[in-house]
Structures are given as C-alpha cells and as structure tokens.
Amino acid sequence: MTNEKTLTQLNFSDIQGYIIRGYNMNNVRHFVLYIKDAKGAKKFIGSLVSGSDESIPQITTAAWWDIKPSYCLNIGFTFEGLNALQFVADIGKSFSGSNYKSFRQGAIAQATQVGDIGESVPEKWKGGLGTSNTHVLLSLYAQDSKVLEQQSDKLRSLFKEGDALKELSCFDGAKLPDEKGQPSDIVHFGYKDGISQPKIEGVPTKRGLSKSLDPQPIIPAYEFILLDDEKAPYYVPTPPELGLNGSFAAFRVLEQDVAGFEKFLQEQKDKIDSDKLAAKMCGRWRNGVPLDLSPDADQLTSPKESIIYEQFNNFDYSDDPQGYKCPIGSHIRRTNPRAAKIQGVTNIHRLIRRGIPYGSLYNPNSPNDGIERGLLGLFICVNLKRQFEFVMEEWVNKGDFAGLPTDVKAPLIGANDNKSGQFDIPVSPDNPSIKLTGFDRFITTKGGAYCFIPSITALQHIASHSTK
C-alpha cells in the first residue's frame, strides 16, 4: 500500500493533469500546430503557464480540485517541435539514449513497428500528421460545446499573435449519447470503454488509497512520470528542469469500421451468437462485464448490490489458462494479460489510456452513410518503445507471447490486412474450438504523433530561454 512518503514525492502541481487523471469531460479538441516563429511560440507557451491573465486559457495540472473546471488544457511537443523552439543548441542531447529513441524517430518512422501498414501508412494520414510539420499537440477538454468554442476562439487568437503558430488541423471528439440521449462511455463498436486503468503508486483515487479500480499490482509512478528515482530504468532528460515530471504520449486517430464489424458479427451467426462473438473478441460484454467473471451472460450473478467498476476488474485469468471463458486472443487479454501465463513481465508494459469517440453515432439502418467515425486516443508512458510499441508490436500484432501462432493478430485492433484475420474461440475440453478466418482489419490509423508532455516547470523553462 502506498505510504505518505511516496505521496510527497509526486508534485501534482508540476505534472500535467491528463497524465494521471481522466477528466471525464464530454468534448475534446486536439489542435495540431506548426511552429513558424520560435520566439513567438515560446511567448505563447509562457502565457499558458503564467497564471497572471484570466483571459488566457491555462494548462491544467494534476493538482486536485474541489470544483471541477469547465475546461482543461494540456500540451505536448514532437521531437521536431522541441527542435523548432530553439531553446537549446541540440535537443537531441537532452533526449539521447535508447529510452528516447522512438521519440526522436517519431511516429512516422516507427509506423511499421505498430502495424501502420496498408491503408494505415503515414502517407495517408490526415491533418498534417503524416509530415514533419507536426510540432505541437494542444488538447482542449470541455464539459459542453459552448465552452469548447469559447476557449478555442481564445487559443486561436493567440496562435495568430506574431504569426508564431499555424493550425494545421484539429480533431474533435465527443462522448456518444446513450439510449436516453445522455453522454456515455460507449465507443462506436458498442463497448463500454475506460473501465480498466493502471493504479499508479502515490496517486490517490476517489475511494481512497485502500481501494483500487484495478486490483492488479500497483505500478510505480516512474513508469508514467519521469522521476529521479533510483529504481527507474532510465535517466531523466536533461537538464532536469526540462525532463522531471514529464511524460510521453502516442497520439492516435483510429477510424473504426463499424459497419464492417457489425456485418462480420452477423455473418458468423451460424457458428456463434453475434453478441457473444462481440464479447469473445473483446474479452468483455458490451456493457463492460468481463467474460472471466461471467462467460455466459452480460451480468454478474454473485454481487449482492449493483455492479461497480471494481467488480468489473476483479479478475486475472488465473483460473482460465485455456481461454474457455475468455479467449487468449481477445482484445483485453492480449493488451493486458494480467496474471495469465505469458512470455515476459506484464507490468512493465502498462499504458495510461485517454480516449474519446469522434464522428456521429452509427445508425444500423444507414450502414453506408459515408461518415468517418472512430477514436481519438492518447497512450501515455515514459518509454514509447518498451510500453506503447511493445504492446502494439508484440502483443497486438503477434501471438507467440501467449502461445498462439506468431502471425495471429488481435481480432479487434490488429493489422489484419488483406483478410488475414484469424481468431480461435475455445469452447470446452470436449468440443473443438470455433475458428474464424479471412476477416479484414476493423481499425485504420488516420494519424499519429509521438509527443513529450513537459512539466509546468519545463514549460516555463522553455518559454524563458532565448532562441539559439
């Protein structure tokens, strides 16, 4: 259990908020910016952390609030973006070494490693994300669309000051409505999302430190925040005022082929019920109930009271080695194997996920409406290679880590190009598994960027240094 000494090691007021907190806001706008003038861009950055002008949107920290704000704002920079700011002579020296190689290389160069092939290649990415001109990712979260537009107008006015920043594009996301028309946590494929997040050492939850939303081992904070900790398997980028309390994120624009997914489910009805197949592919029923706890119905029968998130996560596959309840190849079992027997160590590859749908709600009566819909995601970690890329390359797009054939990719998010998809559903010791083959990928990458998320101190450091 986390002790008081550990808690004091985290300076929440210096850490950008979305690293350790999901804001649970209804709208988001991710601005993709190009730095035209370093001096003007640094002035803009400084204004976001000045705290002196209430008319200018301010970067949201991880400090706890009593009253939830109407908006939150955070910022990240690509390696090219940090270089364009010209606040040091050689930014490569600050991020040298193998721990930061993927960040230096960037999302475009690393695309093949994470399965961005075929229709997902960077040459086909949108909004400038497939070019080296992507310098800044400015993320604005808001409770309602009116606030989103008000704060966006303020930011866009700042972009234009001194002609310092050019807006290449913006990506808007919003929570999808539930059956009552209220914002929900449902994504386009119909699943309840955001259920399982790693419990970070030193970060209290709403229920206090004794209860975790994720009963797996508590993950050291240095796996998500750059800390000067002797146990951390890295050195902090230099100088310390630049690297400490920062983090990294892979930004992803992921188009979801909802019509293709629903069609696939219906085409397999002679083999397996479509709702059950959707659950087997994900590892959870669409309402979030895990197969490991309830393999035959989308409800838990044991709790005396209503199902809560803690119950949704109280499982580890230890009693299901063959995958009769939850297939070994299912989405959540591959991306977070928990206590399942696999090659390697699970907890050094954890990610913090911040995602929200984009595009209007899918209408099954108009499957070919031509509307693009999908997910805007941030995958936060301290080592893009060891965490994000490892999960995508070794767990999502290869199967041998879990005893599956190497070429068997994840059914929901794997790079199953050219109808190469394969998915086995074990039934019981006395019955053969259900084998599904020949399906295409259901997710296409429309954009990506690798970003460094500086601390508040680092943003002030960048803003105060003259152009080199």
Assess whether 277 and 311 both reside in one domain. Answer: yes
Domain for residue 361, yes or no? no
Distance CA 363, CA 297 (A): 25
Q: How much is the average pLDDT of 358-366?
A: 96
Q: From start to end of 148-260, where are the E strands? A: 165-174, 247-256
Domain count, the chain: 2
Is residue 414, in this structure, part of any structural domain at all? yes
Residues 194 and 294 in one domain: no
How many angstroms from the chain centroid is the CA of residue 217? 20
104: which 2 tokens?
């230096």
User: What pLDDT does residue 2 have?
Assistant: 40
Whether residues 457 and 403 fall in one domain: no
Residue-range definition of the domain harbouring residue 161: 4-253+451-464
206 falls in which pLDDT band (50, 70, 90)?
low
Amino acid at site 72: C
- Which residue has 């973006």 as its token pair? 81
Q: Please compute, for residue 426, the number of CA atoms within 13 A of its CA located in the half-sphere on the CB side.
A: 18
**Within a domain: 356:** no
Are 21 and 69 found together in one domain? yes
Instruction: Say yes or no to pLDDT of 302 above 60.
Output: no
Residues 217 and 296 reside in one and the same domain: no
Report pLDDT for 308. 54
Mind giving me the DSSP string for 391-434?
Answer: IIIIIIS--GGGTS-TT---TTTS--GGG-EEEEE--BTTBPPE
15, 190, 213, 300, 312 from 308: Cα distances, Å: 29, 19, 9, 10, 6
Is residue 376 one of the residues assigned to a domain? Answer: no
Q: Where does the pLDDT of residue 3 fall: very low under 50, low under 70, confident under 90, or very high at 90 and above?
A: very low
Of the listed ranges 60-69, 253-262, 307-316, the least confidently predicted one is: 307-316
Question: How confident is the model over 54-66, as pLDDT tens digits?
Answer: 899 999 999 999 9
Asked if residue 298 has pLDDT above 70, the reply is: yes
| Statement to judge: residues 126 and 267 lie in one domain | no
**Residue 200 domain flag:** yes
Answer yes or no: is pLDDT of 208 > 90.
Answer: no
**pTM higher than 0.75 for the full model?**
yes
Residue 326 scores a pLDDT above 50: yes
The pLDDT mean for the chain works out to 91
Q: Tell me phi and psi for residue 312, to 5 degrees.
A: -65, -20
Q: Please indicate, yes or no, whether residues 36 and 167 belong to a single structural domain of this protein.
A: yes
Look at residue 363 and tell me if it is in a domain: no
Cα 377 from chain centroid? 4
Q: What is the dihedral of CA 261, 264, 266, 268, to 10 degrees?
A: -140
Please give the C-alpha separations between residue 216 and each of 124, 199, 334, in angstroms, as whole numbers. 38, 8, 15
How many C-beta neighbours within 10 Å does residue 4 have?
8
Task: Retrieve residue 368's tokens.
Answer: 């070919």
pLDDT tens digits, 385-441: 999 999 999 999 998 888 888 899 999 999 999 999 999 999 999 999 999 999 999
Same domain, yes or no, for 168 and 292?
no
Does 304 have pLDDT greater than 50? no
pLDDT band with cut points at 50, 70 and 90 for residue 53: confident
pLDDT, one tens digit per residue, over 177-201 is 999 999 999 999 999 998 888 889 9
The band of 467, judged by pLDDT with boundaries at 50, 70 and 90, is low
Q: How confident is the model over 213-232, as pLDDT tens digits?
A: 566 678 999 999 999 999 99
**Residue 231 belongs to some domain of the structure:** yes
- Distance between CA 336 and CA 390 in Å, rounded? 12
Is 359 inside a domain boundary?
Answer: no
Note whether 43 and 171 are same-domain residues: yes
